[in-house]
Structure 1
Amino acid sequence: MTPIEKWPVFRRHDQAAARLQIWSDLGRAPRTLQAYARGLGEYLLLCERSGVDPVTADRADVAVYVRELTSRPHPRGANVVSMDSGVGLANATIQQRLVPVRLFYDHLIEEGLRSSNPVGRGRYTPGRRRGGQAKGLVPRLTKLPWIPGEDQWLRILHVAQSEPVRNRLMLALAYDAALRREELCLLRTDDVDPSRRTLRIRAETTKNRLERVVPYSATAGVCCPSTSGTEPP
């Protein structure tokens, strides 16, 4: 299903549909394109409900969208253990939803249809404290990564013992080489070099589109396939 098929609201907004087509023509990854379409599509629907033309919307109209994102029911509901459990999207998700809206207004400025971007962004201001960085529309929060304790790791390994060799290998490679899910799932046997115990992470599978070569341990190497095929491990 294409983004426009999933979000018919784009058929009613020519400039937004044009921006979406540009993202597609530039070769954005399908998941990135879907994420952009979702963020901008939700914003367009909110503008329609509020009777606002998104082309001429101001900062106050964008603030209404932010308020809606921070107050909608959390998809994980009561499973979220925090002070505001069950309410609002995560900060990183809100930032993600705002990116396509900001890029949409950048597009309108380039087309000469606007003179300013109501979403804005954090920008450098000479003379300001703390590195001269002005705040964006929504403060960016950074949480420390969750690191399993020893008991939790032992439970993970205990469960993994009963898994097929393929799953155990994937767990070992993900741990050894610090692979993202996409990088791990798109590995091919010709990406593995058993003689050097290294993995080639192809540029098209990475988030930053940069290829790299990473090592893996001798333990994981016991299960690694030969390079004779091209199927995933």
Structure 2
Amino acid sequence: MRISEATTAYVEHLAHVRRLSPHTVRAYRTDLDDLVDASGDPDLEAMDIEVLRDWVWHASERGDSRSTLARRTATVRGFFAWAADRDLVPVDPALRLAAPKRVRTLPHVAAADVLSRVLDDLRTAGSEGDPVTLRDAAVLELLYATGMRVSELCGLDVDDLDRSRRTARVIGKGDRERVVPFGAPAAAALDAWLVRARPALLARRPSHAPQAALFVGVRGGRLGQRAVYAIVTERLGPAVGLDHLGPHALRHSAATHVLDGGADLRAVQELLGHASLGTTQIYTHVSNERLTSAYRLAHPRA
């Protein structure tokens, strides 16, 4: 079996058996396609540790970051573990493939007062009735209130909201479903969007087919992830002094501010939809203010 045939089968396994997200599956496919091209697509059994090490070395020489190299190494190790489990290779050649240590970057966190000022200003601007402004206010409020991923936000339908209970049902990575709460400011922004603005944008659609999406663009179609990135950059970027700022900054900020408020780490894990508590722990490093305050209150020689 050629390695290209095996990688195609593996990607199908990831998509339909493990049910990984389309974005994750594309990333696996890209990494494995690069390996196929670099190795010349030999028989799967011809792959050995030296071929894999050469592949990683050439990627390093062309300037791939440590995080990219680590991800690609993990992809190949997962692929060959799968192949060995199905007896497609006599031994797993990737067992001794070492990945460079990833430098874990700290997430950017916007100050709570800065976020409050931006959201309040946007709500004031939206009082004039501009549908795009009202939509942007609802998008930012919901991202910050729930800490949901941008893909989860864009996938929301109107029926996923329970406005009486102030909760949203989201589908996260691996098709895992969870229910996240949101507060009164987000509820008010969503009400304004749904009642005063969303119908105006839906009226611009070329067809009269029903639109289930909670958030829509200026032409009435479902709001895409690129558009949400643009909203966050335009509305929040200047306030925090960054030219480019993605929706994940609001996810990071929500997690950090909830921890600062005294929430349990497990609760934050559930809010964010992390499969592992270790992923959530990265947010504890930005909660130094809470730690310092507790130390000064508790330590006898503080």
Report the TM-score, using the length of structure 2 for normalisation: 0.53
Aligned position for 1:77: none
Alignment partner for residue 105 of structure 2, among 143, 163, 174? Answer: 143
Alignment partner for residue 89 of structure 1, among 65, 74, 80? Answer: 65
Identity in percent: 26
Aligned position for 1:220: 186
Task: Encode CA deviations 1:160-192: one digit per residue, 9 max, x unaligned.
Answer: 566521111011100010010111111111111
Alignment partner for residue 38 of structure 2, among 40, 46, 53? Answer: 46
Seen in structure 2, the aligned counterparts of structure 1 residues 112 and 145 have a Cα distance that, compared at 3 Å, is same
Cα shift at 1:139? 2.2
RMSD of equivalent CA atoms = 3.4
Verify the 8 A CA contact 2:73 2:99 in the aligned structure 1: no
Determine the C-alpha separation between the residues in 2 that align with 1:42 and 1:32. 16
Seen in structure 2, the aligned counterparts of structure 1 residues 136 and 160 have a Cα distance that, compared at 3 Å, is farther
Q: Which has the higher contact order (CA 8 A, sep 6+)?
A: 2
**Match runs of 1:52-67 below 5 Å:** 54-67=44-57
Seen in structure 2, the aligned counterparts of structure 1 residues 152 and 43 have a Cα distance that, compared at 3 Å, is farther
Report the TM-score, using the length of structure 1 for normalisation: 0.66
Structure 1 residue ranges without an equivalent (≥5): 1-9, 73-86, 122-134
Cα shift at 1:153? 4.4
Moved more, 38-47 or 151-160: 151-160
Determine the C-alpha separation between the residues in 2 that align with 1:30 and 1:13. 20
Aligned position for 1:185: 154
Seen in structure 2, the aligned counterparts of structure 1 residues 88 and 154 have a Cα distance that, compared at 3 Å, is farther
Q: Which has the higher helix share?
A: 2
Aligned position for 1:206: 172
Cα shift at 1:23? 3.2
User: What is the count of residue pairs matched by the alignment?
Assistant: 190
Q: Are positions 1:70 and 2:57 aligned together?
A: no
3-state SS in 1 of match to 2:179? strand
Verify the 8 A CA contact 1:47 1:53 in the aligned structure 2: no
Letter in 2 for 1:65: W
Aligned position for 1:29: 21
Aligned position for 1:101: 76
